[in-house]
C-alpha cells in the first residue's frame, strides 16, 4: 500500500471537503503544509511538497485538488524525487476568468509530460476550468483523463460528501501503480 499525500488547493480543504474526509478515515493519508493556504507562494508550496515526499518511506501517491494540480506540474519539473503517481482533481485554467489573482505565481504551467503516472479527474461544468482546456492539459501532461459529468469544482460545494466514486477511482488508479 502506498502512502498518500493530499494536496488541497487555495484556502485548504475544509471539514466537509472529500480530501479532509479521506484523511480522517484512512491513516495512510497525510496533508502537505505550506506556509499559507490563502496567499500561495509557488516556491513555498513546492518546498512543502518536497518535504512531505521526503518523509515517506517509499514513493507516495499525490492526491491534488484544484491549484495543487498545477503545483504538482511545477514541482515535477523542479524536483527529481520519486512518487508513485498523481491523482489530479479539478485542474484549473490559470488563464481562465475565474482564476484567483493571488495564485498568479503558478502561471505559466509546465506543459510537458509528467515523469510519473497521472490521472486527471474532471467535471463538465467546473467554473475554474473549461473541459476542453482540461483535455489539452491532460494530453500535454500525458495523463489519463476521466470526465465525470456536471460536478462543478468537485469540492464540498458539489454535494458529493465523502465522494465515494472518487475514492474508488483513486483505489483503482493506485492498484495499477508499481509498488
pLDDT band at 1 (very low <50, low <70, confident <90, very high): confident
Give every strand in the sheet of 85-89, ordered side by side. Answer: 29-31, 4-7, 61-65, 85-89, 118-122, 144-147
Say what the pLDDT of residue 168 is: 97
CA distance 178 to 52: 20
- In angstroms, the CA 106 to CA 40 distance is 9
Residue 178 reports pLDDT greater than 90: no
CATH of the domain at 104: 3.40.50.1820
Please report where in the chains the cell 480530501 appears, as a residue: 19
The string of pLDDT tens digits covering residues 97-128 is: 999 999 999 999 999 999 999 999 999 999 99
Please state the rounded mean pLDDT for residues 129-154. Answer: 97
Cell numbers describing residue 113: 509530460
Reported confidence tier of residue 179, pLDDT bands at 50, 70, 90: low
**Count of the separate structural domains present in the chain:** 1
Three cell numbers at 78?
523542479
Share of the chain above pLDDT 90, in %: 98
Mean pLDDT of the chain: 96
64-102 b/e with 16+ CB inside 10 Å = b? Answer: bbbbbbbbbbbbbeeeeeebbbbbbbbbbbbeeeebbee
Mean pLDDT computed over 1-10? 94
Residues 123, 155 contacting (CB under 8 angstroms): no
* Residue 155's pLDDT band (cuts 50, 70, 90): very high
Residue 72, classed as helix, strand or coil, is helix
Output the CA–CA distances (angstroms, integers) from residue 19 to 4, 70, 170, in the order listed. 11, 17, 12
Which residue range is the domain that position 52 belongs to?
Answer: 4-175
pTM, entire model? 0.97
56 and 5 Cβ atoms separated by less than 8 Å: yes
pLDDT at 64: 98
Amino acid at each position: 500500500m502506498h502512502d498518500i499525500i493530499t494536496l488541497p488547493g487555495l484556502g485548504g480543504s475544509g471539514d466537509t471537503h472529500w480530501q479532509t474526509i479521506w484523511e480522517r478515515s484512512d491513516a495512510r493519508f497525510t496533508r502537505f503544509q505550506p506556509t499559507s493556504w490563502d496567499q500561495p507562494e509557488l516556491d513555498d508550496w513546492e518546498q512543502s511538497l518536497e518535504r512531505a515526499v521526503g518523509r515517506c518511506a517509499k514513493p507516495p501517491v499525490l492526491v491534488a485538488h484544484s491549484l495543487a494540480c498545477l503545483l504538482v506540474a511545477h514541482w515535477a519539473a523542479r524536483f527529481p524525487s520519486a512518487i508513485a503517481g498523481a491523482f489530479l482533481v479539478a485542474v484549473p485554467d490559470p488563464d481562465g476568468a475565474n482564476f484567483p489573482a493571488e495564485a498568479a505565481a503558478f502561471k505559466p504551467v509546465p506543459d510537458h509530460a509528467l515523469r510519473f503516472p497521472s490521472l486527471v479527474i474532471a467535471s463538465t461544468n467546473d467554473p475554474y476550468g473549461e473541459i476542453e482546456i482540461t483535455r489539452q492539459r491532460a494530453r500535454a501532461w500525458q495523463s489519463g483523463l476521466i470526465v465525470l459529468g456536471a460536478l462543478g469544482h468537485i469540492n464540498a460545494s458539489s454535494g458529493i460528501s465523502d465522494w465515494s466514486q472518487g475514492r474508488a477511482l483513486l483505489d483503482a488508479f493506485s492498484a495499477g501503480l508499481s509498488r
